[in-house]
Structure 1
Amino acid sequence: MMDYKKILVVVDPTSDIQPALSRAVELAKGSQATITAFLSIFDLSYEMTSILSSQEREAMRLGVVNQRKAWLADLIAPFAVQGIEIEQQVLWHNRPYESIIKFTQEGNFDLIVKSTHQHDKLKAVIFTPTDWHLLRKSPVPVLLVKDKEWHHNGNILCAVNVACEDEAHLTLNSKIIEYANALARQFNANVHLVNGYPGTPVNLAIELPDFDARTYNETIRMQHEQRVNYLANEYGLPTTNCHVKEGLPEDVIPEIAEDLNVALVVLGTVGRTGLSAALIGNTAEHVIDSINCDLLAIKPDGYKSPVG
């Protein structure tokens, strides 16, 4: 169940417009959650200057941090007028994602909210390394925000995995839908489920002359539809809100998200590390570049971050 009491907003140091902060305020209004605006800064030139003593370097770092604190105070001042208190934290750290995760763990935050950049001309998303690391390693849900309003009576799309019936996947599906339902109640939105299923393996059709690809495909589709419909029934969602389509999740999810003009995609993400992470990546990482809406990434129960 989504019960966020402490929201950490990762501030974009390159912009005076902060969609993530605005989104966090919307969320907090309905949940009485507290908000902390967090900024991690680092400038290598201050570290490399060998002619300065360590005290002088420390003084320069402090000067930069204080400048940023003043800038951040100006940024959150308009919200104070609305009666919304936002704490602030500025840290000097050479790896932003590590400082974010460490601060999240130490402060027992329930949710990280961060903007993803959009390039004005092409509206293409620039997916930063920090976003990738947060999706993979954050111990709490991560909401990546784009500059698109959440309208009342809008749509929320849950990407569920019904190919595996192991306990971990079933629990993660439940968690995804529960988070979506909680947000749907708060924003008077409609929850939809999406699932991509694999097509017929080409080698089967080649190696087995009597193989009936159409029947095989139909069987797989029906199996996936039944499982998605079962999930919908379990959470009181109409089966008309179930969308099962042949294809890879990273292709199917953006397609359905666009068709429904959704405000938010909710999906689960496994915290792969090392070589498998570099080679395979997560569905979330493929999807975020192809959707024009927010993305909420949720970890399985019991996930331990490798950072901190």
Structure 2
Amino acid sequence: MNRYTNLLVAIDPDHEEQPALSRALDIANKSSAPVKLTLFLAIYDFSYEMTSMLSAEERQAMRAGVLRQREEWVTSLVEQHDTSDVSVVNHVVWHNRPYESMIAQVFDGEHDLLVKATHKHDKLGSVIFTPTDWHLLRKCPCPVLLVKEHGWPANGKVLAAVNVASENEAHIPLNDKLINEANAMSKLLEAEVNLVNAYPATPVNVTIELPEFDPASYTDAVRGHHLLQMKALRQKHCIDEAQTHCQEGLPEDVIPAVAKELDAELVILGTTGRIGLSAIFIGNTAEHTIDQLDCDVLAIKPDGYVSPLAPNVSLG
């Protein structure tokens, strides 16, 4: 059974090249089930709202004209591809917050995957002006596939980033979900599934404050614990030891390093959807990692996740 059959594809209004559309068509063409693509574009021009010389009706007519022009542009993008075996519809809206309009469409259209091209963000700007990608990682109810320029060759590698030693019980079913997702994508891509897990280095302050502390023994114990947990997880899912990678370091350093070493075409991450001040000051591993990767990223929410933008969910 194909995992994704109802895709929402975010169109980039500033570029003729549309990696998200190309990737969505890749998925559709490889699928054994019929796939529907909804090409989504949110546009907004504040100058149309501030034209006091025009009546409300005239402003509405101007907006309608802009929407028609952009719909024609999206249609021209589609015509550059062979879509004879794919159902494609266009949806262009006037909205000043693209991520909110995308998530609303995910709910309205019951989409099972959101596909969007991503670009490297300015680090300072990402803190002050949170990019649309970050909002989607935190708040989109369905999986989000962030597309980069890396290709999807046959017999490639899919890398699932797991957390095998977390005390948070939510990570146990999330690890299983990530591996199941990796297995499904590997069948679609004819790729090999790999697992990666990062374990923490010995805290420097402990070594300084406790002279009798043996950092080598501590590191060996931590590594041994993670290797044991990784062994249990890979055996549970029938994955070879050679396809598991357990390395010391921060996840945002280890995951991109292993992905580069494998030349993975897809990295699958879990994201808990942290929002508010904790997201600003702490951030999510997925957010710290995506800019370091030169391949696509599939971000998965844990089961039971409820988006703060879901209909009938209070944001108060």
TM-score range, shorter chain: over 0.9
Q: Which amino acid aligns with 2:4?
A: Y
Mark the runs of 5 or more structure 2 residues left unpaired by the alignment. 311-316
1:206 pairs, out of 208, 215, 224, with 208
Contact 2:35 2:86 in 1 (8 A): no
Quote the Cα distance in structure 1 between the aligned partners of 2:21 and 2:232: 37
Contact 1:80 1:86 in 2 (8 A): no
Deviation at 1:83, TM superposition (A): 3.0
- Relative to the length of structure 1, the TM-score reads 0.94
- Counterpart position of 1:28: 28
Contact 1:79 1:85 in 2 (8 A): no
- Counterpart position of 2:313: none
Quote the Cα distance in structure 2 between the aligned partners of 1:118 and 1:71: 25
2:190 pairs, out of 178, 188, 191, with 188
Please give the per-residue CA displacement for 1:165-194, whole angstroms capped at 9, x wherever unaligned. Answer: 443101111111111110101111011111
Please give the per-residue CA displacement for 1:111-161, whole angstroms capped at 9, x wherever unaligned. Answer: 000001369xxxx9x977111110111111000001121011101111101
Contact 1:2 1:178 in 2 (8 A): no
Contact 2:120 2:291 in 1 (8 A): no
The alignment of Structure 1 onto Structure 2 pairs a total of residues equal to 303
Contact 2:160 2:195 in 1 (8 A): yes
Mark the runs of 5 or more structure 1 residues left unpaired by the alignment. none
- Asked if residue 5 in structure 1 is aligned to residue 12 in structure 2, the reply is no
Greater mean alpha carbon deviation, residues 76-85 or residues 182-191: 76-85
- Counterpart position of 1:224: 226
Deviation at 1:16, TM superposition (A): 1.5
Q: Which amino acid aligns with 1:25?
A: L
Quote the Cα distance in structure 2 between the aligned partners of 1:176 and 1:75: 33
- Counterpart position of 1:66: 68
Write out aligned runs for 1:105-254 (5 A): 105-117=107-119, 129-254=131-256
Quote the Cα distance in structure 2 between the aligned partners of 1:151 and 1:167: 36
Greater mean alpha carbon deviation, residues 161-170 or residues 210-219: 161-170
Deviation at 1:207, TM superposition (A): 2.5
Q: Which amino acid aligns with 1:137?
A: K
- Relative to the length of structure 2, the TM-score reads 0.92
- Counterpart position of 1:295: 297
Contact 2:268 2:299 in 1 (8 A): yes
Structure-2 change in CA distance of 1:81 and 1:11 (3 Å): closer
- Asked if residue 270 in structure 1 is aligned to residue 282 in structure 2, the reply is no
Percent identity among equivalent residues? 52
Q: Which amino acid aligns with 1:129?
A: P
